[in-house]
Homo-oligomer: A and B are copies of this chain.
Amino acid sequence: MPTLSVFMDVPLAQKLEGSLLETYKQDNCPKKIFLAYRVCMTNEGQPWVSSVVRKIRLQIAQDPSLNYEYMPVMGMKSFIQASLELLFGKHSRVIVENRVGGVHTVGDNGAFQIGAQFLKTWHGNSQIVYIISSQKELYGLVFQDMGFTVYEYSFWDSKQLCMNPDVLLDVVEQAPRDCIFVIGNIGNCKMTQHQWAKLMATMKSKQIFPFFDIPHQGLSTGDLEEDTKFLQYFVSGGLEFFCSQSLSKNFGIYDEGVGVLAVVAFNNQLLLGALSQLMNFALALWLNPPTMGARIITSILCNPALHEAWKQNLKGVVENIMLIKEKVKEKIRLLGTPGSWNHITDQNGTHGYLGLDSRQVEYLVKKKHIYIPKNGRINFTCITACNIDYITESINEAVLFTKGS
């Protein structure tokens, strides 16, 4: 009898992500442009790296006193401390009251992985997850694979062309009690004091558990504190939550997943229980998180001069993003394209909605070889002096073409 292969029934897995990028790569048209990179790009079309990072890399390599021993399972203590202070502020209530802690993870995927494992085990009253559409592809699968029921939501209002607080409030109101709510990009939703209060009250009364995603603090408004200010509302509102923080993208250390899963609990005792269980998941997954990225970041965050230089770096990047958006808006307007296009400059951060419908997006991809996700949310830092004219003219064409049909 011939031996049967163990892998006999294993099919080739479907590609989970990057299909747009794959199609782009296979396109032979010399005009092709990809506008969906995840990271902040420089004007030269390279992934952005904070200037302090290179300096620190060299300094670390030259330091004879450093050892490269195993880290504790929890990760690098000084790194976790610095990350939490960055998220909440050194003198924030949760830090003073000793009821926020964190686990050093392999990037944001690692943070969502252990967070989801924890909720699978300890959040018995509901296994329903609401996830913001921009993060569905990356983290939706993590939850789905564990058996959670996953629903996608968005608060982008494609008619009014803005992040609409009423849409968000509606989603929360219709969500079932006790569900888990993965929240990203909420800083872009301009809510009044009254709307925040309403959001808190609804979440609290329905015992909804928020799981925040902070993929690149500082690259949204250019101000580190401003970017995570909304967390304070949830703290004051008396909610417990998880928060995934990635520090790979706002330092430009893309090849080292550097993340933290922050936990806010009602008190220190509850926090310690939760952290100890999360640690066990981390232990099974990777034993000790890799430290190179964390070491670089901690060296910068704990040195006031370097910290300041990094802050200025971020400010410069965001000013540049704003400039790109202004130019795109201006060029589209000069072409006489119907619409106000204010929504382009109204949104913060590297990524934003162009406000195009699915036919317009299809036109850009198929006819103009400009690769854009279906929802029309692009990375504005992929637009450079070399391609801005082609892109804006193509957008104008797409709008006119679909208006006429």
Q: How far is the CA of A46 from the CA of B108 in the complex (A)?
A: 33
Q: Which residues of A, 102-137, contact B by the 8 Å Cβ criterion? A: 106-110, 113, 122-123
Q: How far is the CA of A189 from the CA of B136 in the complex (A)?
A: 50
Shortest distance in angstroms between A69's beta carbon and chain B's nearest beta carbon? 5
A100 contacts partner chain B, Cβ-Cβ < 8 Å: no
Q: How far is the CA of A277 from the CA of B13 in the complex (A)?
A: 5
A60 contacts partner chain B, Cβ-Cβ < 8 Å: yes
Q: Which of A253-261, A302-310, A330-338 contacts B (4 or more CB under 8 A)?
A: A253-261
Q: Which of A85-93, A222-230, A285-293 contacts B (4 or more CB under 8 A)?
A: A285-293
Asked if B13 and A279 sit within 8 Å, CB to CB, the answer is: yes
| Given known A-B contacts A106-B290, A272-B12, A5 and B283 have beta carbons under 8 A apart | no
Residues of B with C-beta under 8 A to A8: 270
State which of B58, B253, B265, B283 has its C-beta within 8 Å of the C-beta of A16.
B283
Asked if B67 and A47 sit within 8 Å, CB to CB, the answer is: yes
Shortest distance in angstroms between A64's beta carbon and chain B's nearest beta carbon? 8
State which of B6, B62, B279, B292 has its C-beta within 8 Å of the C-beta of A58.
B62
Shortest distance in angstroms between A102's beta carbon and chain B's nearest beta carbon? 15
Asked if B285 and A10 sit within 8 Å, CB to CB, the answer is: no
Residues of B with C-beta under 8 A to A138: 287
Shortest distance in angstroms between A28's beta carbon and chain B's nearest beta carbon? 22
Q: How far is the CA of A400 from the CA of B13 in the complex (A)?
A: 62
Asked if A257 and B288 sit within 8 Å, CB to CB, the answer is: yes
State which of B253, B255, B292 has its C-beta within 8 Å of the C-beta of A71.
B255
| Given known A-B contacts A270-B8, A290-B290, A285 and B67 have beta carbons under 8 A apart | no
A23 contacts partner chain B, Cβ-Cβ < 8 Å: no
Asked if A287 and B109 sit within 8 Å, CB to CB, the answer is: yes
| Given known A-B contacts A62-B58, A279-B13, A106 and B106 have beta carbons under 8 A apart | yes
Residues of B with C-beta under 8 A to A274: 7, 10
A209 contacts partner chain B, Cβ-Cβ < 8 Å: yes
The interface bits of chain A over 1-41 (1 if a CB of B lies within 8 angstroms of the residue's CB, else 0) are 00111111111110011000000000000000000001100
Please classify how large the interface on chain A is, using the bins under 10, 10 to 19, 20 to 34, 35 or more: 35 or more
Asked if A109 and B238 sit within 8 Å, CB to CB, the answer is: no
Asked if B266 and A5 sit within 8 Å, CB to CB, the answer is: yes
Asked if A49 and B68 sit within 8 Å, CB to CB, the answer is: yes
Q: How far is the CA of A323 from the CA of B396 in the complex (A)?
A: 78
A252 contacts partner chain B, Cβ-Cβ < 8 Å: yes
Asked if B12 and A283 sit within 8 Å, CB to CB, the answer is: no
A61 contacts partner chain B, Cβ-Cβ < 8 Å: yes
Residues of B with C-beta under 8 A to A204: 3
Asked if B122 and A9 sit within 8 Å, CB to CB, the answer is: yes
A374 contacts partner chain B, Cβ-Cβ < 8 Å: no
Q: How far is the CA of A184 from the CA of B120 in the complex (A)?
A: 32
A residues lining the B interface (CB < 8 Å): 3-13, 16-17, 38-39, 46-47, 49, 57-58, 60-62, 67-71, 106-110, 113, 122-123, 138, 141-142, 145, 204, 207, 209, 238, 240, 252-257, 265-266, 270-274, 276-277, 279-280, 283-293
Given A10-B122, A58-B58, A257-B286, 16 more A-B residue pairs with CB atoms under 8 Å apart are A5-B265, A6-B240, A7-B265, A7-B274, A12-B273, A13-B277, A13-B280, A17-B283, A68-B255, A108-B287, A109-B286, A109-B287, A110-B285, A110-B286, A113-B286, A256-B292
